[in-house]
């Protein structure tokens, strides 16, 4: 059971069409299309649907993938990892533990210290700039 549960119609009233597509239809934005891919400011990336803190700018790096990439979440308990066998491959989907929104996928080709690449959709995130 998720902490926040809303109907599709409720989410549509609060989010953009692109955010709903990515977060609740498990969509993916085009690579290099979201401004967060190139964002270098200090702050926190939170779930665009519910505001749960997900990633710190301190863990963001340039992966070359075309999506914002991080080597670890702010808190492991804020995300959930689910085996994804869609599109003829096996991957690990990352969702927001609070609302269940699809964020992206995690891969084992990231930098030290974790070796992980949390490849996230910018549309699934909001950026809270540090003061």
Which residues 6+ apart lie within 8 Å of 60 measured at CB?
A: 39, 45, 68, 69, 70
Distance of CA 78 to the CA centre of its chain: 11
Is omega for the bond preceding 113 within 30 degrees of 0, making it cis?
yes
Active-site annotation holder among 119, 120, 123, 125 = 119
E strand map for 2-129: 43-47, 53-56, 60-61, 69-70, 79-84, 91-96, 102-107, 117-120, 125-129
96 is in an annotated binding site: yes
20 is in an annotated binding site: no
Instruction: For residue 119, indicate whether it is catalytic.
Output: yes
Report the distance separating Cα 42 and Cα 118, nearest Å.
Answer: 18
Annotated binding site: 47, 50, 96, 99
Catalytic sites, residue numbers:
119
Annotated binding site for Zn(2+): 47, 50, 96, 99
């Amino acid at each position: 059971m998720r902490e926040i549960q809303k109907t599709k119609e409720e989410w549509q009233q609060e989010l953009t069409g692109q955010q709903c597509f990515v977060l609740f239809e498990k969509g993916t934005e085009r690579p290099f299309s979201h401004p967060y891919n190139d964002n270098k400011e200090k702050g926190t990336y939170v779930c665009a649907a519910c505001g749960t803190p997900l990633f710190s700018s301190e863990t963001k790096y340039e992966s070359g993938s075309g999506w914002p990439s991080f080597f670890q979440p702010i808190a492991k308990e804020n995300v959930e990892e689910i085996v994804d066998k869609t599109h003829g491959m096996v991957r690990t989907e990352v969702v927001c533990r609070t609302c269940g929104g699809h964020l992206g996928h995690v891969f084992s080709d990231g930098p030290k210290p974790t070796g992980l690449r949390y490849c996230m959709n910018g549309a699934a995130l909001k950026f809270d700039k540090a003061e």
